[in-house]
Amino acid sequence: MYGENAPHKTTKSLQSLAKRLQKENSSLFSFFLDGSRRVYKVDDIEYQKRIFPIVGGQIGVACCNRKAPDSFGKAIVERHFVLSMPSIATSGEQHPSQFLGRLTQNLNEIERIKRLGIKFSDIMTYKSDKSDGGREEYMDRGTAIIQDKMIDCEKKVVDDLVRKSLLTQDNYLIKDGSLQYQRSGGDFKEMAKYKSNYRRVIGVSKSFNPEFSKDKKNRSNASAIANLPLYHRTPASVFQEGRVGNVFFSVWYVRIREAKYSDSPFAGVLKIEKVLVTQEEEENGLDSGEVDMITANVINERDPVCYGKDQRWANHLYPIFLTENYIKSQFLSDLHFINLF
């Protein structure tokens, strides 16, 4: 099944459309979203003769807004300091969430934390059932909980933009990475809200597994993606990830930089995703003209390059690079964070 309503069997060049939009000084994208997190093992704790890590984290999510070609700044910022500990720590508590709330409050009352002007948002728990992976797997579980918190912050930012009516047909948002969030409940109301909120949002992934892309005969598309000519896109295909729920995505790939200037066949290729919102889109795919317009606008976001500043430069869109740098500049240094404990 194709992810667009006028599919083509070969790749398609968007160079002329991108150049025309550039001459018109026109851009579909006004908002750029990126999330980042850093995690640390800050201590160990013992329960029932088992040792568990306490995982600390810094979370940052930033949405930047470009109001004009020479005006680029922050729109919304979410910053959080969090801890993740084993769920067994709350096993004797009648109200675990209240217990964790009091624990967070006590942590924030420590004089050294108050003096530094730092406040922890949450102490969360990860599953503490026995595991063959031992302490390393517990560390992964604690990290996953912090990752989930970051994803919730990204969803909140998108929700804020939608409630303020800032995302329109002329003001789209690029989100760095996939839109295929793991569902938290999966009920109809939640899925309807997700589709509505992400109507004017596209996900752009710098890295991806090309083996997941299949052609009409369910064969790997990896070779076709690697051999994409400059400014060409693949046909859009439909993808459904079971963990997301009853949501379908239109997915396609575009090359924004010459392969000969990069160090791998997939450097310079971006994966683009858009949620299929209406029943017509789910049955027939996105309008191919919309796919072309989105792709041409993505191509125009590639310059100026961040060559020499980031080893992923060939896959970077410059506004996303700026947004990523901004949110990372808000983090405490690793040494500073570790010394809080």
Residue 2 contacts residue 238 (beta carbons within 8 Å) = yes
Q: What is the pLDDT of residue 135?
A: 75
Q: Is the pLDDT of residue 186 over 60?
A: no
Q: 72: which 2 tokens?
A: 């680029």
- Residue 240, domain extent: 1-28+170-302
Same domain, 19 and 62: no
Residue 59 contacts residue 80 (beta carbons within 8 Å) = yes
Same domain, 124 and 218: no
Same domain, 115 and 138: yes
Q: What is the pLDDT of residue 214?
A: 60
Whether 331 is covered by a domain: the verdict is: no
How large is the average pLDDT for residues 308-331? 92
Same domain, 13 and 71: no
User: In angstroms, rounded to a whole number, what is the distance separating the alpha carbons of residues 287 and 277?
Assistant: 12
Residue 127 contacts residue 88 (beta carbons within 8 Å) = no
Q: What is the pLDDT of residue 215?
A: 59
Same domain, 183 and 67: no
Same domain, 125 and 49: yes
Helix (H) or strand (E) holding 271: strand 269-275
> Distance of CA 270 to CAs 19, 176, 238, Å?
19, 11, 17
Q: How many domains does the chain have?
A: 2
User: In angstroms, rounded to a whole number, what is the distance separating the alpha carbons of residues 66 and 27?
Assistant: 10
Q: What is the pLDDT of residue 217?
A: 60
Residue type, 59: I
Describe the crossing of helices 188-197 and 134-163 by its angle, rounded to 10 degrees. 60
Q: What is the pLDDT of residues 30-45, one digit of tens each?
A: 999 999 999 999 999 9
Same domain, 180 and 259: yes
| Cβ neighbours for 256, distance < 8 A, ≥ 6 positions apart | 230, 231, 268, 269, 270, 298, 299, 302, 314, 315, 317
User: In angstroms, rounded to a whole number, what is the distance separating the alpha carbons of residues 341 and 330?
Assistant: 20
Q: Is the pLDDT of residue 117 over 80?
A: yes
How large is the average pLDDT for residues 319-326? 96
Phi and psi, residue 152, nearest 5°: -60, -35
- β-sheet bridge partners, residue 239: 249
Same domain, 11 and 43: no
Same domain, 88 and 174: no
Same domain, 98 and 184: no
**Burial 15-52, CB ≥16 within 10 A → b, else e:** eebbeebeeeeebbbbbbbbbbbbbbebeeeeeeeeeb
Whether 315 is covered by a domain: the verdict is: no
Domain C-terminal end among 160, 184, 209: 160
User: In angstroms, rounded to a whole number, what is the distance separating the alpha carbons of residues 231 and 296?
Assistant: 8
Q: Is the pLDDT of residue 244 over 60?
A: no
Residue 305 contacts residue 318 (beta carbons within 8 Å) = yes
Q: 209: which 2 tokens?
A: 């597994």
Q: How many Cα atoms within 13 Å fall on the side-chain side of residue 276?
A: 28
Whether 222 is covered by a domain: the verdict is: yes
More confident residue, 69 or 205: 205
Confidence at 87, pLDDT banded by 50, 70, 90: very high
Q: Pick the range with the lowest mean pLDDT from 87-91, 131-135, 240-244.
A: 240-244
Residue type, 107: L
Domain C-terminal end among 160, 195, 216: 160
Domain C-terminal end among 130, 160, 190: 160
How large is the average pLDDT for residues 309-324? 92
Residue 128 contacts residue 138 (beta carbons within 8 Å) = yes
Whether 311 is covered by a domain: the verdict is: no
DSSP three-state, residue 149: helix
Q: Is the pLDDT of residue 311 over 90?
A: no
Q: What is the pLDDT of residues 254-306, one digit of tens each?
A: 999 998 877 788 999 999 999 999 999 999 999 999 999 999 999 999 999 88
